[in-house]
A and B are shown apart, each in its own frame.
Chain A
Amino acid sequence: MEVDDILRDFEKSTQKDQDLYKSLTTAMLNERMAPELLPYQQSLLEDVLSKISSQQQFLLDSHEYGDINIDSGIITSDFKLQLMIIETDIERLNYLVRSYLRVRLSKIDKFSIHYIDMISTNRDSKLLSFEEQSYISRHFKLMTDLYNGSFLKKVPQDLAYLDTDSGISMIVKPEIDQLVFIKVNKGDIVLELEDDDELELIPGGIYIVKYSLVRRYVDIGDIELI
């Protein structure tokens, strides 16, 4: 490999790492602000989590063996500072990951019957991660056991359902017409409003609009929720 190639590879990987941080932040904010659950960012999360664990391994090794680049094996204060920065970096990414996962859990808890219905009709749905799928069924079982044990067993059978759809639906669903703050990344987006009105979005612009009007642009990254 030529030096140029190595340099180019290096630049590419640095670029990719920065994108990783940005992608994770965007994923967290989108998830945080969207009224509904967004598709689980499988490859992004795998990437981040594996990098976090290898960096943690590096920290462990460094604490044990010291700075491998220095023969004397003495841990300098500079090296300590570097380790502290690396540790902070891990903590910061951890925080983003946790925030991302926790807001997903709150939606899974709140709309569990709705999402259970959804994944049972579409088995290869990318909506939930494997762990989330087992979480949602356990959560649902715990909840129905609790309800049954504490009061539903005492009411007539035909009133004991939790998911009847006649009249007002008992299944709580996310309200996708809710208004959200958005930041526009790309041009040429025109939203169709009521009464044949249109709203042309300017790149870099900040708007409040109905989530349902922008969800497909959020999915492809042309619009971010903020």
Chain B
Amino acid sequence: MSIPSHLHQNLMPSEVNFLAENEMIQILPRYSMKSIQLIGTKIPNLRALRREKVPIWVALILKSQGKCNIVPPKWLELGYLKEKYDEEIKNPFKFSDLPWHWIEISKMLLSKAADDLSDPSHQLRSIIQDLKEIRLVKSKKGFTELNESNIALTGLSLLEINEIRPFVLGVMNKLREIHETIDREGEEEGEEEDDDMD
């Protein structure tokens, strides 16, 4: 069965989250567990209190079973995120450098491993919300620059891209269609009888 047409050239937020779950994260095992050979990757031998890297989806399963603690990535921390927020304000035309899946990873860890985070959840949630909003405002300002040919959006994460994608591509493709009505290759003019147009 083919995919619904609105999902061609588009992703659902849950699919972006799925991709984020494949990112690696450090865990601190509480018990030992033998290594597992998966198709996509190999989970190493786990020994209590020895840090290992595993895909986030594995970390979340182990965490839910009480088998490990998750070592939060170093960017998921109040001080760091506040710094990024200040950077966003200081550079009105540039997105600060955040991980490709920062929103999804913070959401997953906040809801499933809040006790492993170094700062209180409500404070983290609120700074993440602020960051997300200020970056969306910046994207919106950028919409005035939409054109028929190209645009650079370096610094945006995949979920942020996905959120604005249908609108941005919709507008740009329409501009392109209008732009292409004029044949700019052959420069000769006046071939048509266009005297009737004022």
Q: Do chains A and B touch in the complex (CB under 8 A)?
A: yes
Contact surface of A with B, Cβ cutoff 8 Å: 14, 17-18, 20-21, 25, 32-33, 35, 48, 51-52, 55, 69, 78, 81-82, 84-86, 88-90, 92-93, 95, 99, 102-103, 105-110, 177-181, 191, 193-195, 199, 202, 204-210, 226
Complex CA gap A164/B125 in Å reads: 58
User: Distance in Å from the Cβ of B10 to the closest Cβ of chain A?
Assistant: 8
Complex CA gap A88/B9 in Å reads: 27
In the complex, are the beta carbons of B149 and A89 less than 8 A apart? no
In the complex, are the beta carbons of A51 and B165 less than 8 A apart? no
In the complex, are the beta carbons of A32 and B9 less than 8 A apart? yes
List residues 17-63 of chain B with CB under 8 A from any CB of chain A: 18-19, 21-22, 33-34, 36, 38-43, 57-58, 61-62
Complex CA gap A206/B142 in Å reads: 14
Could you say which of B86-94, B112-120, B129-137, B150-158 contacts chain A?
Answer: B150-158
Residues in A whose Cβ lies below 8 Å from that of B151: 207-208
In the complex, are the beta carbons of B38 and A86 less than 8 A apart? yes
In the complex, are the beta carbons of B36 and A86 less than 8 A apart? yes
User: Distance in Å from the Cβ of A173 to the closest Cβ of chain B?
Assistant: 15
Interface of chain A, main secondary structure: helix
Least CB separation from B15: chain A residue = A99
Least CB separation from B42: chain A residue = A14
Residues in A whose Cβ lies below 8 Å from that of B61: 81, 84-85, 88
Q: Which of A90, A194, A206 contacts B156 (CB 8 A)?
A: A206
In the complex, the 6 A-B pairs of residues with the closest C-beta atoms, listed nearest first: A21-B40, A105-B2, A106-B2, A102-B3, A89-B38, A205-B154
User: Distance in Å from the Cβ of A59 to the closest Cβ of chain B?
Assistant: 12
Could you say which of B73-81, B103-111, B168-176, B189-197 contacts chain A?
Answer: B168-176
Residues in A whose Cβ lies below 8 Å from that of B19: 25
Contact surface of B with A, Cβ cutoff 8 Å: 1-5, 7-9, 11, 15, 18-19, 21-22, 33-34, 36, 38-43, 57-58, 61-62, 65, 67, 149-156, 158, 161, 165, 168-169, 172-173, 176, 180, 184
In the complex, are the beta carbons of B152 and A206 less than 8 A apart? yes
In the complex, are the beta carbons of B173 and A179 less than 8 A apart? yes
Q: Which of B4, B11, B153 contacts A207 (CB 8 A)?
A: B153
User: Known pairs A32-B8, A208-B168. 14 more at Cβ < 8 A?
Assistant: A14-B42, A17-B41, A17-B42, A25-B19, A52-B39, A81-B65, A82-B33, A82-B34, A99-B3, A103-B7, A181-B165, A204-B154, A206-B153, A226-B158
